[in-house]
Structure 1
Amino acid sequence: MSAVALLVPAILLVIAVWLLLKDRVLRSPIDQVPGPSSPSLLSGHLGRLFHRHEGWKLHDELATQYAAVSRIRGVLGERILYVFDPTALHSIIIKDQQYYEEASFSISMLDLIFGPGLLATLHDQHRKQRKMLNPVFSIAHMRHMTPIFYRVAHKLGDGIAKQVHSLPGEVDVLNWMGRTALELIGQAGLGYSFDPLIEDTKNKYGDAIKAISPALFSLGGLQFLAPFLVKIGSPAFRRWVVDNLLPYPKIQHLKNLVDLMYNNAKDLLSKKRLALKEGDEVVMQQIGEGKDVMSILLRANTVASESERMSEEELVAQMATLIAAATDTTSGALSQILDILAKHPDAQERLREEILQASNGEDISYDQLIELPYMDAVCRETLRLYPPVTEVHRDCKKDMVLPLANPIRGLNGKWMSEIFVPKNTRIIVAIRACNRNKEIWGEDALEWKPERWLSPLPGSLTDARVPGVYSNMMTFLGGGRSCIGFKFSQLEMKVVLSVLLSSFKFSLSDQDIVWNLAPAKYPTVGRISIKPSMPMKVELLKNASF
């Protein structure tokens, strides 16, 4: 082989490596932003960031030992900004959101798992989907959903009561909350019942939903390869590669979960479309009586113009996305609230008294339920201190200047009131860190204090103008990619709590419960187990109706 023939591929290899590394090797204004030293040249801080236990330590270190904007390292030294400064977040989430897109690895991975649904689309396609879904998450529609929520919550109470009677001892609360959240989105979202909430019933779909977050997080830094992998060949070719050339258990487990969710969503969509085709009488006989999210979406899609209409692929993806997004986060949040109330029995008793006084033996109406002051305070404070999602990632799509609420001192000793952010910079929107920021929440920011919501909030918080869609928090994000179902989630939590706390007392388990970092955090028994679980002592009260 001639020297020229050998030289050409060598030159191409050098060019490829340079294109990959140039933004990491050349000097950048971000280099002056303080941050922890990188523990690995290959993976930077990602090994810690995606570790289900060590990740918490890194988040706390960045939130307490550095300014509200700091720098960490990614693959091969990639610069990543960790941001919880409220002014900077306003620029990223609202003012300049078109230039700070959902991270490419996140979009690609969510597309591979759920398809082109609301979480996996950008620009006009995302806006089109959101516009069509907005009406079914309105307050007016939530009022229609309330009776459905109560029916499911009472079934949950029956199931737990039977378990407490037949097997006195500890109850896996997370399992019940996961099944309940799935049934709630099933009935109110799809007009379909997944689970009768009988004690010994198993549900493969529910198990898959609970497993998807830990399975995805277990891939660690491999998630960052998703944008490149989706460009290799056709979907059929990529599937062949996964089936035949990637025998790794973690990848095969995730593939099986994706297959199960996709097949169920496709089957449910087919049944829903058939019912709508057969007419209103058949639709009214369904569980959601035609008022569920997908029935309304399908009707709207039928009469929409061709440019606004969702494709079959988008509709299937929407179902899988709604189920997964509404199940994992809500079940985790409910479990967290019950865990906190068990640690604060006085707060649990105070909330129970408020519920019993408001209910008078009946279901509390929507308008009264959402206004219960201590119920609202407990939910807000738990969602503030323990958000189900710890952070989200954004990619800067053009050179930008990021304004800061408070200047930070650079490594060169100079103060910076703004940061130049080069194109393609990865940004972590630090939800949990912003919610716990002492500069805006006060010195007691790390304490669980529902009472903070029963008096005027500190001026430092209102002045900060945190760009979240919910209660000066980033828990449900803000802007064009805020959580579309946050009112749905709040109503679910309050209905379930009102039913359970009326009849049950919750106490801590004798077992060690550990919360694991993941796309949606989850508890396990001990640090070794990877099975989501949260046993609690549950006692049926004397005045219980079950």
Structure 2
Amino acid sequence: MSLSVLLVFLLGVFVLWKPMAKFLLGTGRLDEVAGPRKEHWLTGNFHRLFRDGYSYHDQLVRQYGGVCKVHGMLGVANLMVSDPRALHQIVVKEQDVYQETDMFLISNRLIFGEGLISTVGEQHKKQRKMLNSVFSLANMRAVLPVIQPIADTLLGQLCAALPEDGGAKEIDVLPWMARGTLEYVGRGILGISLGTLDPSEAGEYIGYANAIRSINPVGMKLRSLRPFIPMIVRNISRFWRNKLVDWLPVPALRDMRDISYVLHASARRMIEEKKVEMERGDGSKKKHLMNIMLQANMSTSETDRLTEDELLGQINTLFLGGQETTTSALARILHILAGEQSAQARLRAEVRQAKLALAAEGLERVSLPYDALVSLPYLDAVVRETLRLYPPTNLLNRTATKDATLPLEFPVRSTSGRLLHAIHVPTGTNILMDLLGANRNREVWGEDAAEWRPERWLGASRNRYGSGSLDLAFGEEAPERVMDATPGSKRGIRYPGVYASMMTFLGGSRACIGFKFAEMEIKQIISTLVSQVHFALPSAMNEEGIRKEIHWRMDGLQVPVVRPPHGDLTTMQVPLDIRSVRETDFL
């Protein structure tokens, strides 16, 4: 037996002992909660949610309702939850009971540092307090002019790739959206150009951008190892962990370690550069969120101030969070508009009318200012409806730190047929917060919950519980009951999301802090592109007359691929037929 095989065997015995003992002892069995039978003693049925799992997910929600039991590795029971009252309990009312899993926290700390997604308790509250002010609407208004030229550059490069005769050309929009979002985060958050749209501007941080891009592909290769990371970190020193990474026949482990080294070194260099700029007096003149964060950190009290390691963690976290999911959302919107030509024409007309209105006031602008951009009703409806129906992330984890009870808005049937109005949750239970199921709940969103219908947002009250906006203010918590003033608020029932009443950006103190930046970025790119470019579904056919078809796999994340015979169902791509806009393309 080779040394590497022996090490893998011994490591497997070590890391599997605790979960195996837990399984054999029956801890957290959730016997009363109904769910599908486990399909395999080792893998259960949990893996089916991450294997193009939309139809399986839909089957579970329809059959079992807002709470069901799914089996993970070694048959350990997990709760999949989409019930609104239960989710309110998890993310708002008892968020200290239902915390991020050790697997999530420790993995993120190893890769990104001590950022928001790696911390809990008082440390997380301190960080959140600092960053809430950084992502204020006033700062969004200040940052938008800095990043507006990015969409114009993106548009110019797309148009340059089109035929001069005005005809259409098939272009994969996914890498274009990825390059655009990287540059948005680079300039808007970090204050640097990554050169993703103009290679001549690529500087020392292009390696940082490439490292961020690699995290999800590499992470997917390590998915089966992640549950064992907490035990390894707690029981093996850093020296021997590095030796194991070197010795084990798992190249993805070494790739992830290299990514982590690049992230930490690059973020530390950025902090030092920005500090030097601020000492010279240049920092206050540059409007990007990293400068705002550093200035806020320096001006706060010693007890509330973030350490350099915490600042480093925020930079890596914000860069990751502002790129991957936004790219997916942008590509999805363009794909939908390509298939919904009347919606595309209506949106294009709305953007043109807004620009004409500004011109009539003597404000000649290529791009819309922040307040005009975010208040376009149909653009807002298109973005909200797409993010509701197709959240880029479908499932998020929590673990119960003590025995607890989850109250239910909509009772479910137990394994014995009894109606359950609450679920007993044993300590250590893993909970899958089902964002997709919540956003498509017919009891809350109506019978057309599974349909893309942006009109549901038009005419919705702009009041928060009767006197505010659709979205929660920073740091504000959603109540359990609200007026039926907005979509997703039915008979006083509402999900606790910060973005309208959907769960796409989560809710409570661990909600996505950058959702307003993401919304601004999406609206600015979409409004810029549709005003000058027409999108249609791919028209390419093979010799049998089969048309090219885009399919979005649900693998935990939304993954766009092309169906055979034109694609392999694996390579990520969103090919669309693109041409310059004609007058007939306006509503």
Q: Do Structure 1 and Structure 2 share a fold, with TM-score over 0.5?
A: yes
Aligned partner of residue 402 in structure 2, secondary structure: coil
2:30 maps to what in 1?
Answer: 30
Deviation of 1:452 after TM superposition, in Å, equals: 1.0
- How far does the alpha carbon of each residue in 1:71-127 deviate from its partner, in whole angstroms, 9 at most, with x for none? 011122211100000010110010011100011111122112211111111111111
Tell me: CA distance 1:68–1:519, structure 2 relative to 1, closer, same or farther (3 Å): closer
Q: Letter of the aligned partner of 1:262 in structure 2? A: H
- Cα distance in 1 for residues equivalent to 2:454 and 2:20: 49
- Is 2:488–2:494's contact at 8 Å kept on the other side of the alignment? no
Q: Letter of the aligned partner of 2:189 in structure 1? A: G
> 1:490 and 2:527 equivalent?
no
Q: For 1:502, which of 506, 520, 531 is the aligned residue?
A: 531
Tell me: CA distance 1:24–1:507, structure 2 relative to 1, closer, same or farther (3 Å): farther
Q: For 2:212, which of 202, 209, 212 is the aligned residue?
A: 209
- Cα distance in 1 for residues equivalent to 2:491 and 2:226: 37
2:183 maps to what in 1?
Answer: 183
2:368 maps to what in 1?
Answer: 364
1:343 maps to what in 2?
Answer: 339
> 1:434 and 2:438 equivalent?
yes
Deviation of 1:19 after TM superposition, in Å, equals: 7.9
Aligned partner of residue 517 in structure 1, secondary structure: strand
Tell me: CA distance 1:87–1:387, structure 2 relative to 1, closer, same or farther (3 Å): same
2:48 maps to what in 1?
Answer: 48
Aligned partner of residue 402 in structure 1, secondary structure: strand
Q: Letter of the aligned partner of 1:102 in structure 2? A: E
1:8 maps to what in 2?
Answer: none
Q: Letter of the aligned partner of 1:131 in structure 2? A: K
- Cα distance in 1 for residues equivalent to 2:554 and 2:116: 23
Deviation of 1:407 after TM superposition, in Å, equals: 1.4
Q: Letter of the aligned partner of 1:182 in structure 2? A: L
> 1:233 and 2:236 equivalent?
yes
- Is 1:159–1:198's contact at 8 Å kept on the other side of the alignment? no
Q: Letter of the aligned partner of 2:379 in structure 1? A: M
Aligned partner of residue 32 in structure 1, secondary structure: coil
- Cα distance in 2 for residues equivalent to 1:459 and 1:269: 42
2:551 maps to what in 1?
Answer: 514
- Is 1:439–1:460's contact at 8 Å kept on the other side of the alignment? no
Deviation of 1:205 after TM superposition, in Å, equals: 3.8
1:260 maps to what in 2?
Answer: 262
> 1:469 and 2:498 equivalent?
yes
- Is 1:159–1:199's contact at 8 Å kept on the other side of the alignment? no
Deviation of 1:433 after TM superposition, in Å, equals: 0.6
5 Å matches for 1:67-216?
67-165=65-163, 169-195=169-195, 197-198=197-198, 203-216=206-219
- Cα distance in 2 for residues equivalent to 1:121 and 1:146: 29
> 1:246 and 2:275 equivalent?
no
Which is worse superposed, 244-253 or 406-415? Answer: 244-253
Aligned partner of residue 498 in structure 1, secondary structure: helix
Q: How many residues end up aligned between the 2 structures?
A: 522
- Cα distance in 1 for residues equivalent to 2:209 and 2:118: 21
Deviation of 1:42 after TM superposition, in Å, equals: 1.4
Tell me: CA distance 1:208–1:523, structure 2 relative to 1, closer, same or farther (3 Å): farther
2:377 maps to what in 1?
Answer: 373
Deviation of 1:132 after TM superposition, in Å, equals: 1.0
- Cα distance in 2 for residues equivalent to 1:471 and 1:314: 30
2:348 maps to what in 1?
Answer: 352
Which is worse superposed, 457-466 or 374-383? Answer: 457-466
- Cα distance in 2 for residues equivalent to 1:321 and 1:493: 19
2:361 maps to what in 1?
Answer: none
- How far does the alpha carbon of each residue in 1:302-346 deviate from its partner, in whole angstroms, 9 at most, with x for none? 343333222222222211111111000111111110011001011
- Is 2:333–2:383's contact at 8 Å kept on the other side of the alignment? yes
- Cα distance in 2 for residues equivalent to 1:490 and 1:381: 12
Tell me: CA distance 1:18–1:266, structure 2 relative to 1, closer, same or farther (3 Å): closer
- Is 1:183–1:193's contact at 8 Å kept on the other side of the alignment? yes
1:270 maps to what in 2?
Answer: 272
Q: Letter of the aligned partner of 2:231 in structure 1? A: F
Tell me: CA distance 1:543–1:180, structure 2 relative to 1, closer, same or farther (3 Å): farther
- Cα distance in 1 for residues equivalent to 2:391 and 2:132: 23
Deviation of 1:150 after TM superposition, in Å, equals: 1.3
Q: For 2:407, which of 403, 408, 416 is the aligned residue?
A: 403
> 1:318 and 2:308 equivalent?
no
Deviation of 1:176 after TM superposition, in Å, equals: 1.2
- Cα distance in 1 for residues equivalent to 2:188 and 2:219: 27
Taking structure 2 as the reference length, what is the TM-score of the superposition? 0.83
Taking structure 1 as the reference length, what is the TM-score of the superposition? 0.89
Question: Root-mean-square deviation (CA), in Å?
Answer: 2.6
Tell me: CA distance 1:22–1:413, structure 2 relative to 1, closer, same or farther (3 Å): same
Tell me: CA distance 1:27–1:238, structure 2 relative to 1, closer, same or farther (3 Å): closer
Deviation of 1:164 after TM superposition, in Å, equals: 2.2
Q: Letter of the aligned partner of 1:533 in structure 2? A: Q
- Cα distance in 2 for residues equivalent to 1:74 and 1:41: 9
- Cα distance in 2 for residues equivalent to 1:142 and 1:261: 25
Aligned partner of residue 258 in structure 1, secondary structure: helix
Structure richer in helix, relative to its length: 1
1:219 maps to what in 2?
Answer: 222
- Is 2:113–2:310's contact at 8 Å kept on the other side of the alignment? yes
Which is worse superposed, 458-467 or 116-125? Answer: 458-467
Which is worse superposed, 42-51 or 487-496? Answer: 42-51
- How far does the alpha carbon of each residue in 1:415-446 deviate from its partner, in whole angstroms, 9 at most, with x for none? 11111111111101000110011111111111
Tell me: CA distance 1:231–1:246, structure 2 relative to 1, closer, same or farther (3 Å): same
- Cα distance in 1 for residues equivalent to 2:152 and 2:115: 32
- Is 2:488–2:495's contact at 8 Å kept on the other side of the alignment? no
Aligned partner of residue 521 in structure 1, secondary structure: strand
1:295 maps to what in 2?
Answer: 291
Which is worse superposed, 248-257 or 465-474? Answer: 248-257
1:327 maps to what in 2?
Answer: 323
- Is 2:50–2:556's contact at 8 Å kept on the other side of the alignment? no
Tell me: CA distance 1:395–1:294, structure 2 relative to 1, closer, same or farther (3 Å): same
- How far does the alpha carbon of each residue in 1:439-476 deviate from its partner, in whole angstroms, 9 at most, with x for none? 11111111100111114556863622211111110001
Deviation of 1:518 after TM superposition, in Å, equals: 4.7
- Cα distance in 2 for residues equivalent to 1:135 and 1:114: 22
Q: Letter of the aligned partner of 1:505 in structure 2? A: H
- Is 1:160–1:199's contact at 8 Å kept on the other side of the alignment? no
Task: Provide structure 2 residue ranges, at least 5 long, that are not aligned to the other structure.
Answer: 1-12, 357-363, 461-485, 541-547
- Cα distance in 2 for residues equivalent to 1:488 and 1:326: 8
- Is 2:325–2:392's contact at 8 Å kept on the other side of the alignment? yes
Q: For 2:302, which of 299, 306, 312 is the aligned residue?
A: 306
Aligned partner of residue 164 in structure 1, secondary structure: coil
- Cα distance in 2 for residues equivalent to 1:38 and 1:138: 46
Deviation of 1:520 after TM superposition, in Å, equals: 4.0
- How far does the alpha carbon of each residue in 1:49-75 deviate from its partner, in whole angstroms, 9 at most, with x for none? 333x2x333322222221110001112
- Is 1:354–1:374's contact at 8 Å kept on the other side of the alignment? yes
Aligned partner of residue 235 in structure 2, secondary structure: coil
2:478 maps to what in 1?
Answer: none
Aligned partner of residue 323 in structure 1, secondary structure: helix
Q: Aligned residues: percent identity?
A: 39
Deviation of 1:215 after TM superposition, in Å, equals: 2.4
Deviation of 1:397 after TM superposition, in Å, equals: 0.5
- Is 1:24–1:79's contact at 8 Å kept on the other side of the alignment? no
Deviation of 1:185 after TM superposition, in Å, equals: 1.2
- Cα distance in 1 for residues equivalent to 2:536 and 2:330: 15
